[in-house]
Amino acid sequence: MNVDNLEIRPATFEDALAVQVLRKHAWQARYVSPDTGVTKEILTTSLAKLPPSEDDLEHYRQMLDKPDNIGKNLVALLNGRIIGTVTYDTLEDDTGDIGVFVADDYNGKGVGDRLLDVLVSRSDNPLQVEIYARNPSRDFYKAHGFVEVGEESNHHFTEEAYLPVQTLRLDPR
């Protein structure tokens, strides 16, 4: 699929539903790990439940409204449809906590690359992503200069369900 006419722009609250659906679809597609208790059923009924809840949308609104986040949450549109997003939230140490999500039909087409490039050009802060350690997008971040920070750890969603995670970091300075 051709993405030559891709538009990248700052996200608005009007994009919240599409962004959250895209994010949760990505989780459902990539985070199944039955050996750690994260089953497709748990993802679809709890961890990445669709449609997004009012709490999901409110959290996104709060993220967009933080002064340090302005212009750094981005969406990628093709023919008016959101096909990718990068979420950004400033942490207490001024690091930008990010996540890049692309619709399955557009994975590997450069959408995530363009989103991340625009974000890096708009941010002087270090960026980090906490990613499921078995997620193939780990290689995507590494290709953009992110490096592993610290050891893998387990992120527990419940006593029975967890994922091994790894923090990757980029200092654009």
29 phi and psi angles, rounded to 5 deg: -80, -30
Is residue 137 in some structural domain? no
Is residue 163 in some structural domain? no
Reported as a pLDDT band with limits 50, 70 and 90, residue 112 is very high
Is residue 73 in some structural domain? yes
Q: What is the distance between the alpha carbons of residues 38 and 47, in angstroms, rounded to a whole number? A: 9
The pTM for the full model equals: 0.91
Is the bond preceding 51 in cis, omega lying within 30 degrees of 0? yes
Reported as a pLDDT band with limits 50, 70 and 90, residue 75 is very high
Q: Where do the DSSP E strands lie in the chain? A: 7-10, 74-78, 81-90, 96-102, 127-132, 147-156, 162-170
Q: What CATH number does residue 23 fall under?
A: 3.40.630.30
Residues 146, 169 contacting (CB under 8 angstroms): yes
Question: What does the pLDDT look like over 123-171, one tens digit per residue?
Answer: 989 999 999 878 888 899 999 999 999 898 988 888 888 889 999 999 9
Question: What does the pLDDT look like over 20-68, one tens digit per residue?
Answer: 999 999 989 888 888 888 888 988 988 889 999 999 999 999 999 999 9
Is residue 42 in some structural domain? yes
- The total number of structural domains in the chain stands at 1
Residues 52, 20 contacting (CB under 8 angstroms): yes
Structural domain including 55 reads 7-125
Is residue 63 in some structural domain? yes
Q: What is the distance between the alpha carbons of residues 18 and 10, in angstroms, rounded to a whole number? A: 14
